[in-house]
């Protein structure tokens, strides 16, 4: 079976180490994250640094997802966590990076400007290296759907990678919005990467009182006031910035599959919990997907046929 869309045929890592520093959105504490090149087949791995040179390794896989209440948190067997991984994971997916180590000296990925754009800039500054190993993909073979009350999410077959994300908030500042588009590195940077995380002032005040969202500010979040208007100076970056950020979150959460997917992801009134549940449901049904790679020669991946490889191998161990 051929493809009608371009695929990056070989795995990619960054060319050199690069660091970013900022504050955690919930603790408000300073944190530094350093990205390093990694060998083919490594995947994305967080190293949570501790005292006396200790380090806990946490793979960026949905099998390691713990809480999803306010963000997506990865947890190892010892209970060590790295939270708010969705924005950096979206940037990793949006850059086409397959293998990388992320060393972090705190419990949260820095919120930076509340988007993926600063991570993208850092990766581009470091540069990219094509590696001598074929890239693998998760190709959706049949629809896999979950529902949770009025919310739902599904994967379905599609010749490309596509997102159709719809939200519906009972406030005139947001209302019902939908973003639908094929997704590649160019579209991600232009249409998605600069969309900011958002919240309501009434909720932020409650979180502050509970000792959370201490790093949240108008510099990294869109905030809706009690009068149902955006209070940030300058207003919105896109007229539908809210649903674009929800799409950014979905891209980051689904990057925890362990490989990029070929298919269409749709959701209605989704969030981190629904994204993780939809991904788990997909990967638990081995008839719903297969692992493929391009059969083309170097530099000839556009339109090259896809062939199934290690069809019984779960993506969580790719």
Report DSSP state, residue 241: H
Residue 232: CATH number of its domain:
3.30.1700.10
State phi, psi for 268 to the nearest 5 degrees.
-135, 125
- To the query of whether residue 272 is one of the catalytic residues in this protein, the response is yes
Q: Is 90 buried (19+), middle (13-18) or exposed (0-12) by CB count in 10 A? A: buried
As a whole number, mean pLDDT of residues 20-37 equals: 94
Q: Cα dist. 215→27, 106, 149, 161 in Å?
A: 6, 14, 32, 34
Measured CA angle at 89 (ends 214, 246), to 5 deg: 70
Domain contains 64: yes
- Per-residue pLDDT tens over the stretch 59-78: 999 999 999 988 999 999 99
Q: Are residues 178 and 129 in the same domain?
A: no
Q: Is the pLDDT of residue 316 over 50?
A: no
Listed in sequence order, the residues at least 6 apart from 23 whose beta carbon sits closer than 8 Å to its beta carbon are 29, 30, 31, 110, 111, 215
Domain contains 77: yes
Q: Are residues 194 and 94 in the same domain?
A: no
Domain holding 42, by residue range, is: 12-133
As a whole number, mean pLDDT of residues 79-106 equals: 97
The Cβ of residue 186 has, within 10 Å, a number of other Cβ atoms equal to 9
Mean pLDDT for the chain?
92
Q: Pick the catalytic residue: 26, 56, 228, 272?
A: 272
Residues of each annotated binding site:
87, 245, 249
Q: Are residues 120 and 181 in the same domain?
A: no
Last residue of a domain, one of 133, 150, 167: 133
Domain contains 299: no
Q: Are residues 87 and 200 in the same domain?
A: no
Q: Are residues 19 and 100 in the same domain?
A: yes
Domain contains 26: yes
Residues of each annotated binding site for Zn(2+):
87, 245, 249
As a whole number, mean pLDDT of residues 157-161 equals: 96
- Per-residue pLDDT tens over the stretch 111-154: 999 999 999 999 999 999 999 999 999 999 999 999 999 999 99
Domain contains 308: no
Q: Are residues 150 and 17 in the same domain?
A: no
Q: Are residues 204 and 115 in the same domain?
A: no
- Per-residue pLDDT tens over the stretch 218-275: 999 999 998 889 999 999 999 999 999 999 999 999 999 999 999 999 999 999 999 9
Cα separation, 75 vs 65, whole angstroms: 6
Q: Are residues 128 and 157 in the same domain?
A: no
Angle between helical axes of 86-95 and 117-126 (0-180°, round to 10): 50
Q: pLDDT-derived band of residue 317, with 50, 70 and 90 as boundaries?
A: very low
Last residue of a domain, one of 115, 133, 151: 133
Domain contains 221: yes
Q: Alpha carbon 108 to chain centroid distance? A: 15
Domain contains 318: no
Q: Are residues 127 and 155 in the same domain?
A: no
- Per-residue pLDDT tens over the stretch 280-315: 999 999 999 999 998 765 544 455 678 888 654 444
């Amino acid at each position: 079976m051929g493809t009608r869309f371009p695929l990056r045929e070989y795995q990619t890592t960054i060319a050199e180490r690069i660091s970013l520093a900022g504050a955690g959105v919930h603790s408000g504490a300073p944190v530094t994250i350093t990205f390093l090149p990694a060998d083919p087949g490594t995947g994305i791995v967080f190293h949570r640094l501790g005292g006396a040179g200790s380090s806990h390794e946490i793979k960026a896989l949905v099998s390691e997802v713990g809480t999803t209440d306010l963000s997506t948190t990865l947890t190892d067997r010892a209970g060590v966590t790295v939270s708010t991984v969705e924005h950096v994971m979206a940037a990793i997916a949006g850059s086409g990076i397959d293998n990388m180590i992320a060393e972090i000296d705190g419990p949260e990925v820095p919120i930076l400007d509340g988007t993926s754009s600063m991570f993208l800039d850092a990766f581009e500054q470091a540069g990219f290296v094509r590696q001598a190993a074929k890239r693998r993909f998760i190709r959706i073979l049949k629809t896999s759907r979950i529902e949770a009350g009025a919310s739902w999410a599904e994967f379905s077959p599609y010749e490309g990678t596509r997102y159709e994300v719809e939200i519906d908030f009972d406030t005139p500042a947001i209302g019902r919005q939908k973003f639908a588009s094929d997704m590649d590195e160019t579209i991600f940077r232009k249409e998605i990467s600069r969309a900011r995380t958002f919240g309501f002032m009434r909720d932020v005040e409650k979180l502050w009182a509970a000792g959370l969202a201490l790093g949240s500010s108008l510099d990294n979040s869109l905030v809706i006031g009690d009068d149902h208007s955006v209070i940030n100076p300058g207003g919105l970056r896109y007229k539908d910035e809210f649903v674009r950020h929800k799409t950014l979150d979905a891209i980051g959460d689904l990057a925890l599959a362990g490989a990029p997917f070929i298919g269409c992801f749709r959701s209605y009134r989704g969030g981190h919990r629904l994204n993780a549940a939809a991904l788990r449901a997909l990967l638990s049904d081995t008839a719903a997907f297969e692992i493929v790679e391009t059969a083309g020669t170097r530099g000839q991946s556009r339109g090259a046929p896809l062939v199934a490889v290690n069809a019984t191998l779960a993506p969580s161990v790719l």
